[in-house]
C-alpha cells in the first residue's frame, strides 16, 4: 500500500481509486504492459523533491488527507472512520470540597470529546500468523499479475470478530506503527479462513519508494513475498482499564494516585458513556462495582477522569472506509491541495479541477456556499453538504 510519514484514515490508494488514477503508476511502478507516456505527468513519487516537476507527491497527498480529516473531525465532532482515542483527559471542577461536574462516587454519565463511539477499551495487538505468502495472479488478463491474494487458514482466525480487526504488514515490519499497515484490502472471514485481496502494486517493497527511480513491475524482487497478520482489538481488564480516576493529594506532591473504572457506551451517536468505579477480579475476570470512597486515595480530591475508546463511522463489511465518506474525504482533500496531482489523463483532470474550483461569475456561490465551514471550493461544499445530510438522516437514531 502506498504509505507516507503521516497517518491517515483514508488510505492513499483509496484516494487514487476514487480519482481513477492508475494504481500501478500511483505506486511508482512501470511494467511492459502498463508503460508511461510521460514520466512527469503519469508517475507518482514518494517525496516532492523527486522528479515530479512541481506536482504532488504521495507524502504531500497524505498530509492533505490528514488535514482534511482533521477539519472534518473538528467541525463535525466525529471521524469518517474509527480512530483510537488513547487517554482522553477530562478535568473535574470543584468548588471548595464540592464536585460540580461529577459526583465523587458511584455511577456517572460523561460526554466523550468525539461522537459515534464504537466501544470503550484499550487497544491490544496479537500476532495471528507471520510469514504468510502473497500469491499474485493475472486477474485482468493483460499479461501482468495485477492481483495479490493472501489466504490464511488457522484456528486462530476464529478469534477475529470482524474484518476491521485485521492488520496486515510487510513481513518483519513493526505493526505498532499504523503507517506500516497495508490498508485498502478487501478482507473476508469464513470461520477459520481469512482472505485479503488487493492490487499487486500495493505490495511493492517499501524500500524502493525512497529511491528517486522508476520501480520495475516486471521484476519479482520489486514486490513483497510475505506478510504478517495481526489482530487489533480492545479490552477492559484490570491491567487495561478503559476508565482511570486521578486524584490530587498533599501526600503525593509529584504524582496523582489513581483508581480504575469500567465504561459502557449508552449513546453511541452523541458520545455519552456511563462510567463506574470498579475493581477487577482476576479469578472471575469480571469487574465488581465499587465506590471511590472504597479506594485508598489519601483523602485527595478527584482531579481527572481519563477515557480510552474508539470513535468514528464504522467500516464496511470488508474493513474499508464507507464509500460515501471516502468520497467526501477525497473531495475535501482535493479542494485544499495547493499543487496539481500526477497522472490519470482527462478524467482525473476533470474531477480534480472541478473539486478545486471556486464558483464565480454566472455560477456564483450561494450565501450558504460562501459560509461553508470547509471552504469555498466545490469539493469542500460537496463534503460539507454530505456531512450535513448524513447527520440529518441519522437524527434520532444510533449509528
Q: Does residue 204 sit within a domain?
A: yes
Q: Is residue 7 within 8 Å of 21, Cβ to Cβ? A: no
Residue 116 and residue 20 in one domain? no
Q: Does residue 398 sit within a domain?
A: no
Which of 202, 253, 252 lies closest to 227 in space, CA to CA? 202
Residue 258 and residue 361 in one domain? no
Q: Does residue 387 sit within a domain?
A: yes
CATH number of the domain that residue 196 is part of: 2.40.30
Which of 234, 235, 233, 241 lies closest to 288 in space, CA to CA? 241
- Confidence at residue 295, expressed as pLDDT on a 0 to 100 scale: 46
Q: Which residues pair with 264 in a beta bridge?
A: 274
Residue 130 and residue 257 in one domain? no
Residue 303 and residue 269 in one domain? yes
**60-89 confidence digits (pLDDT tens):** 999 999 999 999 999 999 999 999 999 999
Task: Please state which of the ranges 28-32, 56-60, 214-218, 337-341 shows the lowest mean pLDDT.
Answer: 337-341
Number of domains in the chain: 3
Q: Does residue 71 sit within a domain?
A: yes
DSSP string, 318-361: TSS--HHHHHHHHHHHHHH-SS-----HHHHHHHHHHHH----G
Q: Which residues pair with 244 in a beta bridge?
A: 260, 306
Residue environment code for 34-71, b if the CB has 16+ CB neighbours within 10 A, otherwise e: bebeeeebbbbbbeeebebeebbbbbbbbbbbbbbbeb
Task: Please state which of the ranges 50-54, 202-206, 270-274, 351-355 shows the lowest mean pLDDT.
Answer: 50-54
Q: Does residue 351 sit within a domain?
A: yes
Residue 53 and residue 176 in one domain? no
Residue 230 and residue 141 in one domain? yes
Q: Give the domain extent around 342.
A: 12-78+321-393
Residue 129 and residue 113 in one domain? no
Task: Please state which of the ranges 179-188, 294-303, 349-358 shows the lowest mean pLDDT.
Answer: 294-303
Averaged over 179-207, what is the pLDDT? Answer: 95
Q: Does residue 3 sit within a domain?
A: no
Q: Is residue 247 within 8 Å of 301, Cβ to Cβ? A: yes
**7-54 confidence digits (pLDDT tens):** 999 999 999 999 988 899 999 999 988 887 665 567 888 888 886 566
* Residue 70 to residue 52: CA distance in whole angstroms: 27
pLDDT band at 394 (very low <50, low <70, confident <90, very high): low
Residue 131 and residue 34 in one domain? no
Q: Which of 278, 311, 344 is the last residue of a domain?
A: 311
* Residue 280 to residue 242: CA distance in whole angstroms: 12
Q: Does residue 6 sit within a domain?
A: no
Residue 42 and residue 104 in one domain? no
Q: Which of 271, 290, 311 is the last residue of a domain?
A: 311
Residue 155 and residue 184 in one domain? yes
Q: Does residue 1 sit within a domain?
A: no
pLDDT band at 104 (very low <50, low <70, confident <90, very high): very low
Q: Is residue 243 within 8 Å of 307, Cβ to Cβ? A: yes
Residue 184 and residue 113 in one domain? no
* Residue 180 to residue 174: CA distance in whole angstroms: 7
Collapsing DSSP to helix, strand or coil, 262 comes out as strand
User: How much is the pTM?
Assistant: 0.89
Neighbours of 219 (CB within 10 A): 11
Task: Please state which of the ranges 82-96, 202-216, 224-238 shows the lowest mean pLDDT.
Answer: 82-96
* Residue 308 to residue 306: CA distance in whole angstroms: 7
User: Distance between terminal CA atoms of the chain?
Assistant: 29
Q: Which of 311, 342, 360 is the last residue of a domain?
A: 311
Residue 243 and residue 266 in one domain? yes
Amino acid at each position: 500500500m502506498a504509505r507516507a510519514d503521516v497517518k491517515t484514515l483514508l488510505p492513499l490508494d483509496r484516494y487514487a481509486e476514487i480519482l481513477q488514477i492508475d494504481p500501478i503508476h500511483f505506486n511508482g511502478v512501470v511494467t511492459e504492459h502498463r508503460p508511461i507516456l510521460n514520466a512527469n505527468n503519469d508517475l507518482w513519487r514518494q517525496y516532492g523533491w523527486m522528479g515530479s516537476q512541481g506536482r504532488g507527491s504521495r507524502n504531500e497527498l497524505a498530509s492533505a488527507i490528514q488535514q482534511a480529516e482533521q477539519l472534518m473531525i473538528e467541525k463535525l465532532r466525529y471521524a469518517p472512520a474509527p480512530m483510537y482515542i488513547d487517554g482522553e483527559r477530562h478535568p473535574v471542577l470543584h468548588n471548595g470540597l464540592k464536585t460540580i461536574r461529577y459526583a465523587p462516587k458511584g455511577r456517572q454519565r460523561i460526554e466523550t470529546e468525539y461522537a459515534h463511539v464504537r466501544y470503550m477499551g484499550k487497544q491490544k495487538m496479537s500476532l495471528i500468523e507471520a510469514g504468510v505468502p502473497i500469491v499474485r495472479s493475472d486477474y485482468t488478463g493483460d499479461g501482468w499479475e495485477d492481483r495479490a491474494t493472501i489466504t490464511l487458514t488457522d484456528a486462530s482466525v476464529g478469534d477475529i470478530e470482524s474484518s476491521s480487526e485485521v492488520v496486515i504488514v510487510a513481513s518483519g515490519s513493526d505493526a505498532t506503527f499504523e503507517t506500516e499497515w497495508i490498508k485498502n484490502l478487501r478482507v473476508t472471514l469464513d470461520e477459520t479462513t481469512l482472505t485479503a485481496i488487493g492490487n499487486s502494486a500495493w505490495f511493492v517493497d517499501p524500500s524502493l519508494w525512497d529511491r528517486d527511480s522508476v520501480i520495475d513491475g516486471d521484476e519479482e524482487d520489486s514486490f513483497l513475498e510475505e506478510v504478517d497478520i495481526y489482530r487489533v482489538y480492545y479490552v477492559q481488564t484490570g491491567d487495561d482499564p478503559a476508565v482511570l480516576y486521578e486524584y490530587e493529594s498533599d501526600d503525593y506532591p509529584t504524582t496523582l494516585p489513581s483508581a480504575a473504572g469500567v465504561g459502557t457506551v449508552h449513546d453511541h451517536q452523541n458520545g455519552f458513556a456511563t462510567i463506574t468505579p470498579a475493581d477487577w477480579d482476576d479469578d472471575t475476570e469480571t469487574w465488581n462495582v465499587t465506590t471511590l470512597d472504597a479506594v485508598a486515595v489519601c483523602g485527595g480530591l478527584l482531579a481527572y477522569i481519563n477515557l480510552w475508546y474508539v470513535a468514528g463511522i464504522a467500516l464496511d463489511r470488508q474493513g474499508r472506509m464507507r464509500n460515501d465518506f471516502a468520497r467526501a474525504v477525497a473531495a475535501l482533500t482535493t479542494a485544499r491541495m495547493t499543487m496539481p496531482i500526477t497522472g490519470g489523463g482527462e478524467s482525473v483532470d476533470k474531477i480534480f479541477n472541478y473539486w478545486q474550483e471556486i464558483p464565480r461569475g454566472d455560477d456564483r456561490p450561494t450565501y450558504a456556499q460562501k459560509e461553508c465551514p470547509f471552504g469555498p471550493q466545490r469539493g469542500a461544499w460537496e463534503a460539507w453538504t454530505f456531512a450535513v445530510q448524513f447527520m440529518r438522516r441519522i437524527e434520532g437514531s444510533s449509528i
